Structure 1
Amino acid sequence: MPYVDTHCHLDHHFDLSASAQVAKARAAGVTTMITVGTDMASSTEAVSTARRHDGVFAAVGVHPNDAMEASPQVMEVIGRLATEPDVVAIGETGLDYYRDHTTPKQQEASFRAHIDLAVEHDRTLIVHCREAWDDLLDVLDAHGAPERVVMHCFSGDEKVVARCAEHGWYLSFAGNVTFKNAGVLRDAAAATPLELLLTETDSPYLTPHPHRGEANDPSYLPFTLRTLAELHGRTDEDLADVVMANAIRAFALPTQDPSEPT
């Protein structure tokens, strides 16, 4: 069955090359990956990685923890990268109040600039949020969200699920949904409408149980999907098909299987 990792950082892995991770993912049935930039350099590398591997796509942007770097000049480069054919999303961007590397004001300015790029280039907006849900959702409401929005590594509760679902925004769950202490997150995952559910690894971070403590990579995606399938009372195969269809809509992905000849 085909799996999709809608958010990984193939160029951030501590040990494995991007090519090694893609090969390992393919062996585990992960046919589609989106590798995500967090600044100008990693966004450029994400595009290069996607160009070299069938079934791998790129997202370009500046992480909110690096929002001070989202100058007009940098955002101009991000905008140019967004026109590349393998780029399907802008981000990750958003608000992060857990760390204080940048001020809320800097983060909001960067977030708004990313929203504008997503609208301008008709790209999906990948949103990072940590301990800032009320402010983040208010910015999206006030500024005007693009057509397609994905809440990456979703960390909200059931109330946030309901508010996002009202807008048709996708919620993507990572390996932390498998953690033993993640009861609130699992409740949120169970409350997520199936048509808005996505899977990711956020690798090399948030390695799912039972591999917690190891560096994560896209091949571990099936462990997260298995937990989500149990929460929704579905088989792994059924939910994998649902999530793949969701990812195709969420990121306007081509529908041809990358293993098929062109």
Structure 2
Amino acid sequence: MIWDTHAHMDDPVYADDFPELLSRLKSAGISRVTNVGYDLSSSERSVNLAQDYDFIYAAIGVHPHNAEEVTSETWENLLRLSKQPKVLAWGEIGLDYFRDLSPRSVQKEVFIQQIKLANEAGLPIVIHNRDAHQDVLEIVKAHPPRYGGVFHCYSGSWEMAQILLNFGFYLSFAGPVTYKNARHTVEVAKKLPLDRILVETDSPYLTPEPRRGKRNEPAYVCEVVKKIAEIKDLNYEDVAQQTMKNAEHVFRLV
């Protein structure tokens, strides 16, 4: 049984075949999915999905791309949503210096505010970090999350990973770990203790090999598990079982 710890199943691309999507993930042995918000409306959709399906859980938050949209009402509504029993994390939050869709100063301010809100709500955080390694590190050092968290779709170095392990973070791997040019990510996955690894799809994005070029979906997280098992010279079932335990730990379901 596998937990896809980061997906966006509320995305409109799934509107026409959602029942089939659910059937495929069940057939693939996916027993849990965390549906992750990136703004207020997607956070609300995540909570609604979690209420409708027993195997779906929700994360709520504002992505750095959407940082400029935030108002005081956004925070009030997210805090309200955080009280829902199937909300397991605050995210995805963080910094994105690749697309820079919000000013970096605003991204930082919104990131820090959400760490504080997650601490208030008693939730771990899910961090989006793209080309912003140093600033993300400085912020989590200065504003540590009290309930831990996950670096989703990890893209940093092994040196950065060691720092994050010391802070108690888990690192999550998605489709890019299966790509031919993923030398640095593979190196991190090989060195990282299995008990600190999560797996995810970030669907509908980042489709793993051998399905790259097609729309991603939670069923394909099996390819990530397969690749981690290959990198670490372990069997598939052991990786599936341990990453499930890790997710239960970080999301505080044990």
Q: Which amino acid aligns with 1:192?
A: L
Secondary structure of the 2:13 match is coil
Identity of aligned residues (%): 38
State the partner residue of 2:101.
101
Task: Output one character per residue of 1:144-195: Cα deviation in whole Å (capped at 9) or x when no partner.
Answer: 2222210011111111111111112000000110011111111111122211
Alignment partners' CA distance in 2, 1:113 and 1:18: 34
Structure 2 distance, partners of 1:83, 1:22, is: 26
Aligned to 2:195: 195
Between 138-147 and 177-186, the greater mean CA deviation after superposition: 138-147
Unaligned runs of 5+ in 1: 256-262
Deviation track 1:128-154 (CA, whole Å, cap 9, x = no partner) reads 000111110110111122222100111
Q: How does 1:6-85 map to 2 (within 5 A)?
A: 6-16=5-15, 17-85=17-85
Runs of 4+ that moved beyond 4 A:
16-19
After superposition, residues 107-186 of structure 1 pair within 5 angstroms as 107-186=107-186
Q: Which TM-score applies when normalising by structure 2?
A: 0.96
Equivalent position SS for 2:84: coil
User: For the residues of structure 2 that align with 1:15 and 1:132, how far apart are their CA atoms?
Assistant: 31
SS at match of 2:4: strand
| Aligned residues of 1:61 and 1:91 also touching (Cα < 8 A) | yes
Contact preservation (8 Å) 1:98, 1:130: yes
Post-superposition CA distance 1:96-132 (Å, at most 9, x none): 1001211111011111111012111111100000011
Q: CA contact under 8 A between 1:129 and 1:136: conserved in structure 2?
A: yes
Looking at structure 1, the residues matched to 145 and 160 of structure 2 have their Cα atoms a distance apart, in angstroms, of: 16
1:204: which partner in 2? 204
AA of the residue aligned to 2:5: T
Residue of structure 1 in register with 2:246 after alignment: 246
**1:123 aligns to what SS in structure 2?**
coil
| Equivalent-residue separation in structure 1 for 2:130 and 2:239 (angstroms) | 27
Q: Partners of 1:245 and 1:158 in 2: how far apart? A: 23
State the Cα deviation string for residues 202-239 of structure 1 (Å, max 9, x = none): 00000000000110000001101110111111100011
Quick one: structure 1 residues 248 and 37, their matched pair in 2 at CA, closer, same or farther if it must change by over 3 Å? same
- Structure 2's unaligned 5+ residue stretches are none
CA RMSD of aligned residues (A): 1.2
CA distance in 2, matches of 1:137, 1:235: 33
Counting matched residue pairs gives 253
Q: Secondary structure at the match of 1:10?
A: coil
State the shift of 1:23 in Å: 2.4
Does the 8 A contact of 1:11 with 1:18 survive in 2? no
Question: Does the 8 A contact of 2:30 with 2:219 survive in 1?
Answer: yes
C-alpha spacing 1:82/1:20, structure 2 compared with 1 (3 Å): farther
Q: Distance in 2 between matches of 1:138 and 1:21?
A: 39
Whether the aligned pair in 1 keeps the contact of 2:124 and 2:145 (CA below 8 Å) is: no
Distance 1:18 1:62 in 2: 25
Q: Is the 8 A contact 1:203 1:218 kept in 2?
A: yes
Change (3 A) 1:15 1:145: closer
User: How far off its partner does 1:70 sit?
Assistant: 2.1
| TM-score normalised by the chain length of structure 1 | 0.94
Contact 1:10-1:21 within 8 A present in 2 as well: no
CA contact (8 A) 1:125 1:146 kept: no
- Mean Cα displacement is larger for which, 183-192 or 172-181? 183-192
